[in-house]
């Protein structure tokens, strides 16, 4: 039997997926090994560039207590692109293509051989294109993993989160939890946003202020 795994997806772009994934990884490491993966990543500088330290991949490696080198980066994020665009567009700029079948097979292989819980972070929003024909939602559906849906606390976040949760439900996917990640300059506290989302969904809703540790209940989803 493969170890437990879940997929961290976003209700939008740049709302805190990596922050939540890294915090969850650190929380899980308190109980044992954990594997955090960011298979697809756009807007990534070369590994030797000082700016790489601020990349999503570098943050996930740090959360796992791993050094940043060519081997660890490739093992975490094999599909990396320089342009800060959707993966299909970023790949096209480099004369490359992304294959959903290859990504799914790679993820399944890593889960099967990990020997520990696995957390996979998606890219962009739930419906962001990742290939010429597939979206992040198609990727999740192919893996059939429970989803942690990350929302911001910005104006409009409630609708975006509930819409994404409904899309997951209609695809027959399990939303293990919604996490409201604090958005800088938001007009209302993240706790208020989380409370509103909780009134309209049946899954647990957690709130994460910037700098906070991952809630224990969130880690329990990968127990």
Residues labelled as active-site residues: 38
- C-alpha–C-alpha distance, residues 178 and 186, integer Å: 18
What contacts 25, CB < 8 A, 6 or more positions away? Answer: 34, 36, 60, 63, 64, 119
DSSP type of residue 48: T
Alpha helices in the chain (DSSP H): 17-29, 56-63, 70-76, 87-93, 100-114, 136-143, 157-170, 190-198, 216-219
Side-chain half-sphere CA neighbours of 38 within 13 A: 28
């Amino acid at each position: 039997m493969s170890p437990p795994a879940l997929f961290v997806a976003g209700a939008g772009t740049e709302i805190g997926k990596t922050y939540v994934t890294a915090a969850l990884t650190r929380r899980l490491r308190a109980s044992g090994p954990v594997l955090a993966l960011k298979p697809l990543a756009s807007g990534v500088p070369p590994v030797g560039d000082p700016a790489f330290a601020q990349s999503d991949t570098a943050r996930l490696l740090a959360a796992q207590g791993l050094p940043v080198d060519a081997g660890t980066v490739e093992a975490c994020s094999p599909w990396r692109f320089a342009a800060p665009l959707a993966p299909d567009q970023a790949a096209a700029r480099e004369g490359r293509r992304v294959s959903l079948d290859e990504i799914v097979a790679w993820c399944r292989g890593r889960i099967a051989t990990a020997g520990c819980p696995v957390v996979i972070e998606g890219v962009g929003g739930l419906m962001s294109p990742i290939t010429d024909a597939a979206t992040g939602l198609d990727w999740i559906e192919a893996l059939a993993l429970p989803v942690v849906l990350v929302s911001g606390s910005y104006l409009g976040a409630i609708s975006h989160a509930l819409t994404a949760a409904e899309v997951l439900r209609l695809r027959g996917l399990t939303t293990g939890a919604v996490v409201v990640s604090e958005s800088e300059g938001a007009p209302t506290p993240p706790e208020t946003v989380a409370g509103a989302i909780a009134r309209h969904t049946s899954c647990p809703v957690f709130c994460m202020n910037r700098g906070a540790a991952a809630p224990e209940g969130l880690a329990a989803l990968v127990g």
